[in-house]
Structure 1
Amino acid sequence: MKRRTFLAALPAAAVSPAILRAETPAPAPIWTPGSIQFNRPDVHGGDRPVGASFASRSAVYGLSGAAGSAQPLATLAGIEILKKGGSAVDAVIAINACLGFLEPTGCGIGGDLYALLWDPKKGKVDGLASSGRSPRSLSFETARSRTKNGVLPAYGAVSVSVPGTVAGWWALHQRHGKLKWADLFEPAIAMTEGGVPVAPIIAHYIGRAMANFAKPGMGIEETENARKVWAPGGVVPREGDPFRNPDLARTYRLIAQGGRDAFYAGPIAETIERYFRRIGGWLTRADLAAHQAEWVTPLETTYRGIGVQAIGANTQGLATLQMLNILENFDLREAGFQSPLSIHLQAEAKRLAYEDRARYYADPAFAKVPFEWLGSKDYAAQRAKLIRPDRLMTDLRPGTAPSHGDTTYLTVADRDGLMISLIQSNFRGMGSGLVADGLGFMFQDRGQLFSFQPGHPNLYAPGKRPFQTIIPGFATKDGKPWLSFGVMGGDMQPQGQTQIIVNRADYGLDAQAAGDSPRWHHEGSSESMGEDAGDEGPTGLLRLESGVPEATRTALIGMGWTIGASDGGFGRYQCVERIEHNGERVYAAASEMRADGTALAY
């Protein structure tokens, strides 16, 4: 059976042409001068002799450690840190620092960080939240005056919140580091100074970002530093072009020498304050100095006996747990892998969970978020009763509470049993477009996710954390660590995490095949912030990857789904699995076939 062509003989429902609003993109050229681009639907990957026919590769196995990230050189740097005696935390910091250079389109020290971590000494999962707050001098009235259709702009100083990444690294290292702090930055500094060829997907998204920064309304003075770093001389790097960032190398050296204080209270903070004062922004050294990473207790549920953990705080982590709780009320194995009923039930669970996401999720320091009620099995059972197996729900509302984008994901495990699941992001379009003089990194634009609906728990306020989309994933079995995993990509993250758990628990796929399996992505749920709000109609748009059987696609249309074209927005996945083999621990590492990532083990 050919890769990506399977389960083709599923029963089809009657099709109404009026229901289908599929978006059909124009065919891409088979070859474009100056690049290698193929659009050959008749060409498939070679057949696999074992495992799922659609898997892109085998999982990678090792006894001593494993790592997966969005860039091969970053993963390799992490493995080398482990080999030097570093902990999984040491390796994850080194990888993340490398990714700030190798993958500036998804992450960097101008963004935020969350992590879930299995602590073998405690025998439990810990959570770390390092999400920055809005500038305290940016008033609600000023912020609202900059909105358009109730949403802050993606670019510019008004959407910048305090970067939390370096504080997150520091907190992790203080508790779990083995190597010296400065040693962790050596691989990234060597890359930024020596140069690395630009990966295909990174070249594509740098080009898109630079084009956006050149659009009318973006101040030349505001974005000139970004263009100097990523389009020197006005030339955007192409796939394979050597690229360097000496400004970022100098910044990393300051952090390596001065720790977190170099960023939040020292020379970097001073440069940041001067820059925002110069361009008319609001972020100050006092805002930076006030930031602290927080160790938090993760939210948790069970799915078919598997423990699934998530970050609560101001993230959408609860949505994964809500979806799984709803789906536990249905027999997905009986429904069948990649069947119309299976995808229908999963997408309907998403729609229900995301109504609550839009209504309740916010910074719990400013609003009472009913985590316990929303994550309960009883509430999920009530919501599951709203789902019909043969057609869409048409009247979707959030539950009534009792009275009382652009991201990188990485994971590492070490010889001591420490496993860390970490996600880090600048948010949409590389971030705000703003780069402080000589620092070489872009500030995030997370403030765009604040709501401006009166009375909403995610309503903008000075010194408040905006709603966050980035969420690490973790799962346990019988009280022991099992999966450290994540799926990047804005509102796709809970949907992608749920599909990974369903593929493992209900359909028995291994770590690699579970990520390679064709995915669905539903767009158009209720929104109260500037994330993924669109005009997809009352029931939204269900996008299916090309590997989903045509019979399944046809049957879903018959159920009333509006099917959209595959747009490549199905997330990117990394995973490290812990397996007990005759009393000996084995790690299996898996990576995403849709992007540039690599998983390694040793």
Structure 2
Amino acid sequence: MKRDFEAPGRSPVYAREAAVATSHPLATSAALEVLHAGGNAVDAAIAASVVHAVVEPQMTGIGGDCFAIVTEADGRMAGFNGSGGAPKALSQELLAEKGIDELTPTSPHSVTVPGAIRAWETLLKAHGTRDFKTLFKRAIEYAEEGFPVAPRVQQDWRESADRLNTTPATKATYMPGGQVPDVGQIVKFPRLANTLRAIAEGGADAFYTGPVADDIVSTLEGLGGVMTREDLAACHTTAVAPVMRDYRGYTIAELPPNGQGVIALVILGLLERFDMASLDPLGPDRMHLEMEASRIAYAVRDKFVTDPGYMDICHANLISEDYLDQLASMIDPNKKLDDLPGTSLAPQTDTIYLTVVDKDGLSVSFINSIFNPFGSGILAAESGVLLHNRGAVFHAKPGHANSIAGGKRPMHTIIPAMGLKDGAPWLSFGVMGGHYQACGHAHLISNIVDYGMDVQMAIDFPRMFFDMNTHALEAEKLIPQSTLSGLMEKGHEVHRATAAIGGSQAIMIDKANKVLIAGSDPRKDGHAAGY
């Protein structure tokens, strides 16, 4: 497919030396600054992520989790799981004693140990060339001297205003003058700046021990939480081997559980059993197959995927050919499958995803999140650390793969990914949007592989997902009404989505022409750039 230059849109960015794609221009600029100064892709990704933690506070922060895939030019690949576990003292029995049968998004019990800072430090030690002091420079400047609120950030901020009343400290920090900031208004986070400066000087231990850790623990204790200083001090990042599966000649790499990356591979494995390229990419037949494959795959996720120490099945079994054949036999190209098990998970949420490829071919696929917009809404007032609520995906009662247990890592929606061609890096990519991400990975790859779209077109292309409770389909407004009517004829309930579905960044590595091709999602304030 080729771009229509008379229609709204933009071309992908072509660069020879290095490329960056993030969801915020200030983060992209910070990454480019590091690259121009001689830093590598990992250095640039950390610099971008810490800027995001300041300028996109509704999406990410140092009080959240992080996952990354780092790939060398020769295809050697390393995965990093920077997610924290539930407090050791938290259990189903304790919650039952407190009369809690559901972990609400603003509950102190929804706050798991934030793993991001430890993950950043681990990444730098393994693959970086710079230190926190160098890489935190721009973020500290924006937190201390202020940054202008971008349009999409302001929209999210406004729509999340209720969450900002969770604690007086949260309201005072994120509702200056009692109101959501306007687009272009300069906002400052001086206490966060002080904490970033302390981490820049003292490393991750300045977050997980000492005054910052004390502030986090005392804040949660004051709300009835049970996180301890020992829980924070024990935080570690796990090195993991990516799980891989081919899709029509391309190898797609995802991180293993506790993330949902393997579910993207399940969806692709199901779609590969159909002649997707023969279908109209915006037509009802393509969308039906994609949604049916996704609904089945997410039912698999909810049955099996959690902290791998608690899984009843090896994740590799979920992408075995026999199992995929079994799942694919459930798909009728002409009719919706009605007997899928229901779910009880929250609707779509958001995060930040970024990717960097440097002049030496080092590729970083990187994602950082506080889960729901503004996370738990709980701000540790003295340190300025906004705490995520990843534990809200836990079940408070037994009988589920993702039932809560002390020290257990929750099922994670955030998933970086990497594509290989003939064993060499081909596409560093990710999709934002909470639960949508596994479906979004499959949609993006199918757009490129089955329909020949460039990275920007594949990112821009209209999306569908399904309501996690009712399984009604939700369609972005650029999907034709004729497609919605065709889906209804196949038995689907279909609605227009109330907002854009997720976001995305990607960088394609064109070895033949020795160029990088980058794209960033217009659904965000994002920016792709290179040189």
Specify the alignment match of 1:157 in structure 2. Answer: 108
3-state SS in 2 of match to 1:283: coil
The corresponding residue for 2:477 is 546
Q: CA deviation at 1:313?
A: 2.4
Pick one of 42, 46, 58 that aligns with 1:93: 46
- The offset of 1:569, in angstroms, is 4.2
Following TM superposition, where does structure 1 have runs of at least 4 consecutive aligned residues deviating by more than 6 angstroms?
none
Offset, 1:146: 5.7
* Structure-1 residue corresponding to 2:377: 433
Give secondary structure in 1 for the equivalent of 2:308.
Answer: coil
* Corresponding position of 1:102: 55
Q: Is the Cα–Cα contact under 8 Å of residues 314 and 465 in structure 1 kept in the other structure? A: yes
Q: Distance in 1 between matches of 2:237 and 2:46?
A: 15
Give the CA deviation at 1:581.
Answer: 3.1
Q: Distance in 2 between matches of 1:115 and 1:191?
A: 25
Deviation at 1:383, TM superposition (A): 1.2
Q: Establish whether residue 591 from structure 1 lines up as the match of residue 528 from structure 2.
A: no
Task: Give the match for residue 244 of structure 2.
Answer: 300
The match for 1:128 is 80
Q: TM-score, normalised on structure 1?
A: 0.84
1:453 Cα deviation after fit = 4.4
542-551 or 250-259, larger mean C-alpha shift: 542-551
Match of 1:347 among 285, 288, 291: 291
User: Which residue of 1 is the match for residue 198 of structure 2?
Assistant: 254
Deviation at 1:198, TM superposition (A): 0.5
1:81-113 CA distance string (max 9 Å, x none): 000000111000000000011100000010000
2:251–2:419 Cα contact (<8 Å) kept: yes
**Post-superposition offset of 1:278:** 3.5
Question: 1:593: Cα distance to partner?
Answer: 1.1
Deviations 1:384-433 (A, max 9, x none): 121111111122359xxxxxx12111111111111011111101131111
Distance 2:99 2:434 in 1: 21
Q: 1:286-324 deviations in whole A, cap 9, x for unaligned? A: 001111001100111010011001111211111100000
Contact 1:264-1:289 at 8 Å conserved across structures: yes
Query: Are 1:375 and 2:319 counterparts?
Result: yes
1:427-480 Cα deviation digits (max 9, x unpaired): 113111111122122101111111234232211111111111111121111101
Q: Paired residue for 2:182, among 238, 243, 250? A: 238
The residue identity in structure 1 corresponding to 2:87 is P
Q: Distance in 1 between matches of 2:227 and 2:486?
A: 52
Is 2:418 the counterpart of 1:465?
A: no
Q: How many Å separate the matches in 2 of 1:277 and 1:454?
A: 25
Q: 1:579 matched to which residue of 2?
A: 510
**Distance in 2 of aligned mates of 1:201 and 1:302:** 35
The alignment status of 1:601 with 2:530, answered yes or no, reads yes
Tell me how far 1:523 sits from its aligned partner: 1.9
For the 8 Å contact 1:543–1:565, the answer to whether it is kept is yes
Q: Conserved in 2, the CA contact under 8 Å of 1:59 and 1:589?
A: yes
1-side partners of 2:95 and 2:55: how far apart?
33
- Selected match of 1:557 from 474, 477, 488: 488
For 1:191, the equivalent position in structure 2 comes to: 142
Q: Following the alignment from structure 2 to structure 1, what is the Cα–Cα distance between the partners of residues 310 and 477?
A: 43
Q: C-alpha distance in 2, partners of 1:267/1:195?
A: 24
- Structure 1 residues 2 and 182 mapped into 2: Cα distance closer, same or farther (>3 Å)? closer
- Structure 1 residues 165-244: aligned runs within 5 Å: 165-214=116-165, 218=166, 223-244=167-188
The secondary structure found in structure 1 opposite 2:286 is helix
Q: Which secondary structure state, in structure 1, belongs to the residue aligned with residue 511 of structure 2?
A: strand
TM-score, normalised via structure 2 length: 0.95
Letter in 2 for 1:101: V
Residue by residue over 1:22-49, the C-alpha shift from the partner in whole angstroms, topping out at 9 and shown as x without a partner, is: xxxxxxxxxxxxxxxxxxxxxxxxx506
Mapped partners of 1:466, 1:442: distance in 2: 19
Q: Does the C-alpha gap of structure 1 residues 144 and 87 become closer, same or farther in structure 2, counting only changes over 3 Å? A: farther
Preserved contact between residue 406 and residue 430 of structure 1 (Cα < 8 Å): no
The 3-state SS of whatever aligns with 2:203 is helix
1:138 equivalent among 79, 87, 90: 90
Three-state SS of the structure 2 residue aligned to 1:462 is coil
Per the alignment, do residues 83 and 108 of structure 1 end up closer, same or farther by CA in structure 2, a change over 3 Å counting?
A: same
Q: Aligned partners of 1:261 and 1:2: how far apart in 2?
A: 50
Residue type of the alignment partner of 1:231: M
Q: Which amino acid aligns with 1:506?
A: D
Cα deviation 1:311-352 (Å, max 9, x = unaligned)? 112111111000000111000011232121111111110011
Q: Choose the corresponding residue for 2:68, options 98, 115, 131.
A: 115
Give SS of 1:471's match: coil
Q: How far apart are the structure 1 equivalents of 2:96 and 2:164?
A: 22
Moved more, 549-558 or 60-69: 549-558
Letter in 2 for 1:417: G
User: Helix, strand or coil: the match of 2:206?
Assistant: helix
Q: Secondary structure at the match of 1:406?
A: coil
**Structure 2 residue aligned with 1:527:** none
Residues 29-74 of structure 1: CA distance to partner in whole angstroms, max 9, x if unpaired? xxxxxxxxxxxxxxxxxx506xxx56x1000111111111111011
Give the total of aligned pairs: 525
Q: Does 1:409 align with 2:361?
A: no
Q: Which residue type is aligned with residue 107 of structure 2?
A: G
RMSD of equivalent CA atoms: 1.9
Q: Is the 1:518–1:548 contact (alpha carbons within 8 Å) kept by the matching residues of 2?
A: yes
Once the two structures are TM-superposed, the CA of residue 545 in structure 1 deviates from its matched residue by 1.5
Q: Percent identity?
A: 39
- The counterpart of 2:22, out of the listed 39, 53, 69, is 69
Larger radius of gyration: 1
What residue ranges of structure 2 are gaps of 5+ in the alignment?
Answer: 343-348
1:97 is paired with a residue whose SS is: helix
> In structure 1, how many angstroms separate the alpha carbons of the residues matched to 2:97 and 2:69?
37
Equivalent position of 2:345 in the other structure:
none
* Equivalent residue letter for 1:124: R
Q: How does 1:76-87 map to 2 (within 5 A)?
A: 76-87=29-40
Check conservation: 1:85, 1:179, Cα contact below 8 A: no
User: Residues of 2 paired with 1:146 and 1:391: CA distance?
Assistant: 46
Letter of the structure 1 residue corresponding to residue 58 of structure 2: T
Residues 447, 145 of structure 1: CA spacing in aligned structure 2 closer, same or farther, 3 A cutoff?
Answer: farther
Maintained 8 Å contact 2:92/2:398: no
Q: Helix, strand or coil: the match of 1:129?
A: strand
Equivalent pair of 1:143/1:152 in contact (CA under 8 Å) = no
Taking the aligned partners of 1:480 and 1:72, their CA distance within structure 2 comes to 29
**In structure 2, C-alpha distance between the alignment counterparts of 1:549 and 1:210, rounded to whole Å:** 33
Q: CA deviation at 1:378?
A: 2.1
Alignment deviations for residues 565-601 of structure 1 (CA, whole Å, 9 cap, x no partner): 122241101111111135xx21111000112111111
**Contact 2:95–2:396 at 8 Å: present in 1 too?**
no
Alignment partners' CA distance in 1, 2:218 and 2:398: 34
Residue 4 of structure 2 corresponds to residue 60 of structure 1:
no
Q: Distance in 2 between matches of 1:576 and 1:450?
A: 33
SS in 2 for 1:86: coil
